[in-house]
Amino acid sequence: MTETLKTVLDREASSVVFAPPDVDAITGAGRRRVRRRRGAAALAGVVAVALVGAAAVEMGGRGGDGRETVVASGDGSGAAVSWAVGSTIHVGGDTIEVGHPVRAYVRTSVGFVVLDGADDVWSVTEDGVTEIGRMTSPRPDNLDQQLLASDPGGSLTGWVGEDRSGDLIVETYDQETGESRSFPVPGARPPDDSVFFAIDDRTGYWRTPTGIVAVDLDTGRERQVVRIPDDRVYDFEVYSVENGVIAFTPQSDEVILAGRSVEGARELVDFRNRPSEGMTDPVRLSPTGAWLSLGVAEVATATGETSTIDRITSEVYDVATGERVPLDQPAGSLAIPGVWLDDDTVQVLVIHGAIGPSLTVQDAALHMCTVPSGSCVVAADLGDVDLPSVVLPDGRGYPE
């Protein structure tokens, strides 16, 4: 017997006739996956409320609207609900007039950072409203590109801009010092991506054409977090970095992991085993990196160009053990977690109403849910607010 392994494999592979793939089934399944992610993301963009929990707002708000709200404590132990409508940011019972349409915003220890409808970036502090840069223009197939990053416990913010030659650059601004910096991203030009994912303390995390880097935003020293083959770099996404813990997906939102390194991370969520569900933004770690929150959307139908998200639930996981912590979500509601108020309290937006291509809201409220007990209390009642007009502080610049 003198056959080679190669011969055996060649002969066997050639002996079988395969039916041609069903292109319609493939493209249909692909569209459902895309829509599940983007539909859920866009929905989360208009309804998710992220709360950030360090400092009180001391920027001369113009007074409350009479609703019962949780007001910032100012001692770092709590935070106020915030959301924006038009050019106004609502913070607990106070309002801040930015003077420019708020398309996306984030909170810092000093104030807020706002992206307007013309892609200009503004710093909003007690000293006033100052233009600090310009974000790269959005592209229809990339929701992630327009993303403001910040560490709520720090004064730095960042985004992806363009230099005069059109190359993508990462820009940062320190609201404490007023210092701006820019960092080159070699090889990244529109429409190639460079996404500024997160700031943890004073380290920025962004995508380059070769992987994910962590950059000391004071010294510029760069560390390669993970190197990724060219054709996979877009599948890898960093959701959140807190206290040195990184939450990410290596595979287009199918699997979510978290840990102190990419190599040593624990798998927390696997949507490959949950075919009718997908994650919704934002996916956020608690300030100590102990907990991970995300929304999970269930896609009920996806036909033609229309998909319907039937249900959204909040899920929280213990990063150390991988155990899921049940939250006390009201029956029949949609619940989308935002960011963390403190080490064990996550903000959740709870909606009663009909969800789908057109969203009908009967009432909406902001809840604060505590882990590991999972108990939730109402923090702010938004009533029958027109959710599509509401902007929430997750930093994402959703298309208008």
Partner 1 sequence: VVSRDTAAFAEFVSASSPALHRAAYLMVGDVGLAQDLVQEALTKTYVAWPRLRDPSRAEAYTRKAIPTTAIGWFRRKRGYAERPGAGPPPDTAGPGDADGVEQRTWLWECPQRLPVRQRVAIVLRYYEDLSEAQTAAAMGCAVGTVKSQVAAGLDKLRAQVGDLVLPEPDESDEAVAR
Where on the chain is the footprint of partner 1 (CB under 8 A)? 1-6, 8-14, 16, 18-23, 25-27, 29-31, 33-34, 38, 140-141, 193, 229-232, 234-235, 252, 272-273
Tally the residues of the chain: 400
Residue closer to partner 1 (CB basis): 137 or 182: 137
Q: Is 20 or 63 the residue whose CB approaches partner 1 more closely? A: 20
Nearest to partner 1 of 18, 332 (CB atom) = 18
Residue 12 burial (10 A CB sphere; 0-12, 13-18, 19+): exposed
> Distance between CA 238 and CA 235 in Å, rounded?
10
Least distance from partner 1 to the Cβ atom of residue 210, Å? 13
Output 13 or 331, the one with its CB closest to partner 1. 13
CB of 127 to partner 1, least distance (A): 40
Which SS3 state, helix, strand or coil, does residue 32 take?
helix
Determine contact, residues 158/204, Cβ cutoff 8 Å.
yes
Q: Pick from 269, 371, 259, 270: which is nearest to 319 by CA?
A: 259
| Block residue for tokens 């060219």 | 230
> CA of 246: how far to CAs of 272, 340, 394, in Å?
21, 15, 17
Residue 193 or 315 having the CB closest to partner 1: 193
Q: Which residues pair with 208 in a beta bridge?
A: 211
Report the residue number, 27 or 180, with the smaller CB distance to partner 1: 27
Tokens 């990053």 identify what position?
149
The three-state (H, E, C) secondary structure of 181-207, written as one string = EEEECCCCCCCCCCCEEEEECCEEEEE
Question: Which residue number, 9 or 300, has a Cβ lying nearer to partner 1?
Answer: 9
Considering beta carbons, is residue 2 or 177 the nearer one to partner 1?
Answer: 2
Whole-angstrom Cα distance, residue 340 to residue 257? 18
Q: What is the nearest approach in angstroms of partner 1 to the Cβ of residue 121? A: 25
In the complex, least distance from residue 15 CB atom to partner 1, rounded to whole angstroms: 9
CB of 16 to partner 1, least distance (A): 6
Residue whose C-alpha is closest to residue 375's, from 346, 353, 350, 349: 346
Closest CA to 257 of 248, 322, 234, 205: 248
